[in-house]
Structure 1
Amino acid sequence: MAKRDVVFPPGRQALYEKNRYSPAVRSNGFLFVSGQVGSREDGSPEPDLEAQVRLAFKNLNAVLGAAGCTFDDVVDVTVFIVDAEANFEKAWKIVPEFWGDAPHPTLTGIGVTWLYGFKFEIKVIAKLPGNGEG
């Protein structure tokens, strides 16, 4: 297997190395982005749900930007929400601030019981601009 073409956003590489995963990998014209949460610089959760969702999108946009992408390049989204029945509407009202205009990407929403102290996580696949090489 060829070495993975990993994308790191500025300033957070130590957190990814500590937790032993890549924030994103380029492959075959696509960018596969690991789940992004509303973590502060030190990796701790932002306690307020709405602020946590905004920070998750900010962290996602940093990863996308490091690969030369924007949210407009996203084709598939998976969101994970702790206690989705109670938190979905609160989290989802923030999404239009980042989502852009139609046509929108595909979406899968999953209610979960635990996200390592977080309440919201977003994972995406984006089409790389140009020939797909970073």
Structure 2
Amino acid sequence: MSARDVVFPAERQALYERNRYSPAVRSNGFLFISGQVGSRPDGSPEPELEAQVRLAFDNLNAVLAAAGCTFSDVVDVTVFIVDPAQNFERIWKIFPDHWGEAPYPTLTGVGVTWLYGYQFEIKAIARLPESAAAVSGG
């Protein structure tokens, strides 16, 4: 098996190495992005929910940018929400600021009881631009 083609956003590699996972992997013309949370540069959670969601999108966008993508390249999204009955509407109103124009990516929402101190997590799959896919062998 060949080595994974890992993507690291600027200034976050130490955080991912400490937690032992890849932020994103390029494969066969796609970018598979690990769940992004509203973590500050030191890895601590942003305490306020709306700010945490905005920061999670900022962190997602940093991973996308490191691979030469934007949110418009995203084809599939999964969100994890602690206490969705209480938090869904507060979170959902933030999405249009980051979502872009229709047609939208597919979406799966999952209610969870625990996210390592966070209340929201977003993971995605993006289509790599032609130039990035060629570089990654996809």
**Shorter-chain TM-score range:** over 0.9
Q: Does 1:98 align with 2:86?
A: no
Aligned positions of 1:1-134 closer than 5 A: 1-130=1-130, 132-134=133-135
Matched residue type, 1:123: K
| SS of equivalent residue, structure 2 residue 59 | helix
Q: Whole-Å Cα distance in 1 between the matches of residues 118 and 134 of structure 2? A: 33
| 1:133 CA displacement | 3.4
Superposed CA RMSD in Å reads 0.7
**TM superposition outliers: structure 1 runs of 4+ over 2 Å:** none
| SS of equivalent residue, structure 2 residue 118 | coil
User: How many residues are aligned here?
Assistant: 134
TM-score by length of 1: 0.98
TM-score by length of 2: 0.96
Matched residue type, 2:24: A
| 1:22 CA displacement | 0.1
Matched residue type, 1:5: D
Q: Give aligned-pair identity as a percent.
A: 77
Q: Whole-Å Cα distance in 2 between the matches of residues 49 and 89 of structure 1? A: 11
Matched residue type, 1:20: R
